[in-house]
Structure 1
Amino acid sequence: MSEAHAPLPFPRTDLALAATRFAREIEHPAIYHHSLRTYHYGRALGERRGLLPDQDYDDELLFLGCVLHDTGLSDHGDGDQRFDLDGADLAVRFLRAHGLGDDRAEVVWDAVALHLSPEIAGRKRPEIALVTAGAGFDLGIEGPGPLPPGYTDRVHAELPRLHAAAVLHDTIVGQALAKPHKAPPFSLPGELLRRHTGGTWPAWDRFTGWGDHDGHAPDAAPAPATGPVDRRG
């Protein structure tokens, strides 16, 4: 890990250092810095909730989820799924190759795969929830309150923003333009692609292939359900 990051707390395990090198090698510098800031903000937001590292959650797992959460936006991680899923799969391949057990690797997979779903991630264990919280805070999404005075200035001094939000947007859209299936309708990548291209989403009835809308009267009373009848009692 670069000595430039020394003033900020990081796990110093061999695996954490290897994951940091891996992310730095494959990611745009702005995305790499965003990933590291995600850890610091996630950890700080956890402390506001009374969650202490290595007491209430595994700090190494939180760090691994944060530093690897956008690896799907690298050329190395650009597969055929949404970038969050590509990143989750890449993270697990990397961690297993470095000896991490399946149970711990699964926590990181969930943290990466769910980081675009705050309503779900927020109900999961801290190692998962705080990745989403930290990433959202770093992108300016409203968090649970301000952090200690001067903390964000300190983080930004060590890890400059480098136009992070703009780089993330352009990378997500660039992947989606090349592979539109990576941006399905109503997903975050899909919405960014729609806005970029000026496209529109198909109506709900275009998603159902059974003819359920044919002859349907929206104000009609629902038909009674059919099926097995429980005649007990």
Structure 2
Amino acid sequence: MRGVQRRRADLRRHRLVAIRRAGTAERADRVDAVDQRVMGRQVDGANRFAGIRTGSATRSRNGPIVALRGTAATSAPAATGNTVTAVSFTMEFPTTPMAGAALAIVRRSEAEAIVNHSARSFFFAELLAIHEGLHHDSGYDRELLFAATVMHDLGTGALAPGRARFEVEGADLAAEVLAEHRVPQADIDRVWEAIALHTSPGIAERRGLLAYLTAEGSKMDIGFNAPVTASYQAAIHAAYPRLRMVRTLTDAIVDHAARSETAAPIYSMGQQFALERRESGATQLERLAAGLIPWGE
């Protein structure tokens, strides 16, 4: 328990120091309030799915990730039994036909800002997995993580029929892509669940490693767990610029919610965003982007 508390405090301290150095103490206080609510959920969520992980995988306690090679590679120790091996991060997508099809459908149907958000979510999820020592977990699969993170917002695109909430329709579209490439049904189900639950904090992290990383990767792109990405976010953003992502994604979610009553059921993100837009002209996410996200919207 003391280790979890120390990690939570370290994450808050790193963000506060960075923001205060920029001369924005008032915003730092707001970040602290947000982080106290959010970081505890993230750490506790990681612990919740620990029960389904193998004993050979342990979370990294060694602090920041260190550079390994080039400008976009990183390495961190990962425990496998009594042996410690290096785990590498690189800004390269999987090259399998399934991965290519996933990327193609996203590029064909989504706004460029959302495509870039999805790519960044994949890289941020990988960085989190390295940081927490999860790459050697039996539930870790890089290709499935790519499929889930890159296609997690398919429901906001042109191919979504607008009859169900965008998370579900995106999960259905992603499942079709995987089925066409003869991915085993059990893996299709894991990707479907990860996408369907990526806007459900408190649930996603209880549904296994893939769901946890998919949800966290997408949240990291709006600034959560920012210290994990600090050394690499500039290179990632240079390759996949934001292009006012928060506004573009919010517009797409609200537009999808307006397509039918069943597309925005009560308490869904679509319903909540549409309500906030009507009442105040901006969602909480848009206000968060304007005031708190380290790299803006």
Cα deviation, 1:104-158, whole Å, max 9, x if unaligned, reads 1111101100101121111222222101000011022x32x51254311111001
Flag structure 2 segments of 5+ consecutive residues without an equivalent: 1-71, 73-89, 281-297
| Structure 1 CA distance for aligned equivalents of residues 215 and 124 of structure 2 | 10
Q: So what's the TM-score if we normalise by structure 2?
A: 0.61
Structure 1 or 2, whichever has the larger Rg, is 1
Does structure 1 retain, via aligned residues, the 8 Å contact 2:263–2:270? Answer: yes
- Residue from 61, 79, 90 that aligns with 2:144: 61
Q: Which has the higher helix share?
A: 2
- Residue from 157, 175, 178 that aligns with 2:238: 157
Answer yes or no: is 1:173 the counterpart of 2:254. yes
Answer yes or no: is 1:198 the counterpart of 2:279. yes
Change (3 A) 1:91 1:84: same
Does structure 2 retain, via aligned residues, the 8 Å contact 1:84–1:113? Answer: yes
Flag structure 1 segments of 5+ consecutive residues without an equivalent: 200-233
Cα deviation, 1:162-189, whole Å, max 9, x if unaligned, reads 1111101011111222323311222211
SS of 2:228's equivalent?
A: coil
Residue type at the aligned position of 1:153: A
Change (3 A) 1:139 1:78: farther
- Residue from 169, 182, 196 that aligns with 1:99: 182
| Structure 1 CA distance for aligned equivalents of residues 241 and 229 of structure 2 | 19
| Structure 2 CA distance for aligned equivalents of residues 122 and 56 of structure 1 | 13
Partner of 1:136: 219
Partner of 2:127: 44
Change (3 A) 1:94 1:148: closer
SS of 2:203's equivalent?
A: helix
Cα deviation, 1:194-218, whole Å, max 9, x if unaligned, reads 112239xxxxxxxxxxxxxxxxxxx
- Residue from 159, 169, 172 that aligns with 1:76: 159
Percent sequence identity is 35
CA RMSD of aligned residues (A): 2.0
Does structure 1 retain, via aligned residues, the 8 Å contact 2:153–2:166? Answer: yes
Does structure 1 retain, via aligned residues, the 8 Å contact 2:124–2:229? Answer: no
- Residue from 79, 85, 90 that aligns with 2:173: 90
Q: Which has the higher strand share?
A: 2
| Structure 2 CA distance for aligned equivalents of residues 124 and 48 of structure 1 | 20
| Structure 1 CA distance for aligned equivalents of residues 219 and 259 of structure 2 | 26
- Residue from 19, 34, 52 that aligns with 2:117: 34
